[in-house]
Chain A
Amino acid sequence: GAVVSQHPSRVICKSGTSVKIECRSLDFQATTMFWYRQFPKKSLMLMATSNEGSKATYEQGVEKDKFLINHASLTLSTLTVTSAHPEDSSFYICSASLPANYGYTFGSGTRLTVV
């Protein structure tokens, strides 16, 4: 149980276009979701925390206008990378806070390549 499905797993887009990454909780309601960025051989860097029905809270240094996060339902959060540039190429991971037991479950990640 407690599965988070993240799509797409890989995406290549042209510079200047926007890309949307979806994160769905399949068998539980995810009140809170998190979006991370991971550079090669590095740790996970938290980008933002999203709570269902409210605006996301972005970490310092993360451009909220570039990385749009929407959490309109208890089972879906989306990250849209707007006007993507090659420096946005990275591995993006979503995570959901599990109810009642203070654990977390993670999506399988999305490798974004901007050409």
Chain B
Amino acid sequence: AQTVTQSQPEMSVQEAETVTLSCTYDTSESDYYLFWYKQPPSRQMILVIRQEAYKQQNATENRFSVNFQKAAKSFSLKISDSQLGDAAMYFCAYRIQGAQKLVFGQGTRLTINP
């Protein structure tokens, strides 16, 4: 069974600094997709970034970037120049090609200190 593990229940960072959230996953598949979702206090799930496993290049979206290590089955999220609005729960998620459902990690609660 596919599993996603986020080993950091909570993280905090000073405003304007950089923070990295870790995520590992377990799969025997070669074709899959990885996602990071943000859930702010409003509880609306917001897509932060996605990565196709066949792409070697790490995905980036403005201040958000990933370090995708396929062999190590690792998919960490780096947030640069942290802002107060980045405070949220962050969930790593995985989906195999051809499947429908997402498998979520346990989440990491990120606090931004002003």
Tell me whether A108 and B50 are in contact (CB under 8 A).
Answer: no
* Residues 59-114 of B contacting A (Cβ, < 8 Å): 91, 95, 97, 100-102, 104-107, 109
Interface range for B? 10 to 19
Tell me whether B43 and A109 are in contact (CB under 8 A).
Answer: yes
Given contacts A43-B106, A44-B104, A49-B100, contact A104 B43 (CB under 8 A): no
Say what secondary structure dominates the interface of chain A.
Answer: strand
Tell me whether B105 and A43 are in contact (CB under 8 A).
Answer: yes
The residue on B at minimum CB distance from A31 is: B100
Tell me whether B47 and A103 are in contact (CB under 8 A).
Answer: yes
Decide yes or no whether A18 CB sits under 8 A from chain B. no
Tell me whether A43 and B91 are in contact (CB under 8 A).
Answer: yes
Give the residue of A95, A102, A108 whose beta carbon is less than 8 angstroms from that of B33: A102
Q: Which residues of B contact A42 (CB under 8 A)?
A: 106-107
Nearest chain B CB to A110's CB is how many angstroms away? Answer: 10
Nearest chain B CB to A1's CB is how many angstroms away? Answer: 13
Decide yes or no whether B30 CB sits under 8 A from chain A. no
Nearest chain B CB to A18's CB is how many angstroms away? Answer: 24
The residue on A at minimum CB distance from B91 is: A43
Nearest chain A CB to B97's CB is how many angstroms away? Answer: 8
Number of interface residues of A (CB under 8 A): 20
The residue on A at minimum CB distance from B43 is: A109
Q: Which residues of A contact B101 (CB under 8 A)?
A: 34, 46, 49
Digitize B24-58: 1 where CB-to-A-CB distance is under 8 Å, 0 elsewhere: 00000000010100000011110100100000000
Nearest chain B CB to A106's CB is how many angstroms away? Answer: 4
Q: How far is the CA of A28 from the CA of B41 in the complex (A)?
A: 27
Nearest chain A CB to B29's CB is how many angstroms away? Answer: 14
Tell me whether B91 and A44 are in contact (CB under 8 A).
Answer: yes
What 5 A-B pairs have minimum CB-CB distances, sorted nearest first? A106-B45, A43-B104, A109-B43, A108-B44, A43-B107
